[in-house]
Amino acid sequence: MSSATIKSIARELGFSFCGIARAAFLEEEAPRLEQWLKEGNHGTMKWMENHFDKRLDPRVLVPGAKSVVSVLYNYFPDRAPSDPDTPKISRYAFGEDYHDVIRDKLKEFLFRIREELGDVEGRVFVDSAPVMDKAWAVRSGLGWQGKHTNLINKGHGSYFFIAELIINLDLDPDGPAMDHCGSCTACIDACPTDAIVAPYILDASKCISYLTIELREAIPDEFKGKMEGWAFGCDICQEVCPWNRFSMPHSEPRFSTGRAPDLSAAEWREMTREVFDEVFTNSAVKRTGFEGLMRNLAFLRQE
């Protein structure tokens, strides 16, 4: 009954899906992660080399953990940029920063669980700690990792944020999801920087999202002419994925408040720090900072 109660609360809070896995060592993922890091596919994101044990075992991260509760939250936008000639930003950054939105919901989630089930200990995570969120979402039956390495839900696509509650309740786990990519290579074929170096393997150092967000240095000249107008993040591999024909607009008001989709090409060209601060104060775009966004826009103008 505890598992059903938790899933019911998740639905009431607006989460699209909720699944449960037993907290355990990620035995299959361990050698793959080690090899991925050894090959340098994480680029300058050296923090990914840290806390290897916590990344692979939630019981090390959260002492006493028995279950990982994974949730998905839809962010597919209900609108498109008003000016098709503007620089592109990933759909997840159209509205308020997802960290803030989902963290608020997770805190309410844990509060409600404690109200219903008593003294539950645990922590909430939304892209904020060494948690392999996609692996746990797969284990809890919410989808599979596609060849582009994003999580895909068979009936609803991949435009979801993933978050977790790692708690000390011994819950009934869900079974893992099956892979439904088949022989499709649409994402691999469409990637302009060849970042998907093999099915299910992403060289993040070549990914446009990495180049425009994580990379703090100058974008290498080898990527000139390959950015396809992306100034913050990239959605190409999701746009071409056949499963995203099932994507439906989100119903989160805080994802619809951003001004970014309404900017004209002229406003992008003439952007000042003041405009940046006004438009992106509550947006994930603030992560790259004004200087970082200006670097990206300058690089695009060279193409």
Name the token pair of 212: 């425009």
Name the token pair of 184: 């499709």
Query: Exposed, middle or buried: residue 107 (CB in 10 Å: 0-12, 13-18, 19+)?
Result: exposed
Say which of 127, 174, 194, 262 is annotated catalytic: 127
Look at strands 230-232 and 201-202 and give their pairing: unpaired
Residues 6+ apart with CB under 8 A from 295: 218, 219
Distances in whole angstroms, Cα of residue 113 to Cα of each of 22, 58, 178, 197: 18, 19, 29, 42
Tell the residue number behind the tokens 């939105």, with chain if given. 101
**Long-range own/partner contacts, residues 219-227 (CB < 8 A, 24 or more apart):** 219/295, 219/296, 219/299, 223/193, 223/299, 224/299, 224/302, 224/303, 225/303, 226/192, 226/193, 227/192, 227/299, 227/300, 227/303
- 127 labelled catalytic: yes
Alpha-carbon dihedral sign for residues 217, 44, 103, 73: positive
User: Of all helices (H) and strands (E), which one includes residue 161?
Assistant: strand 160-167
Catalytic residues: 127
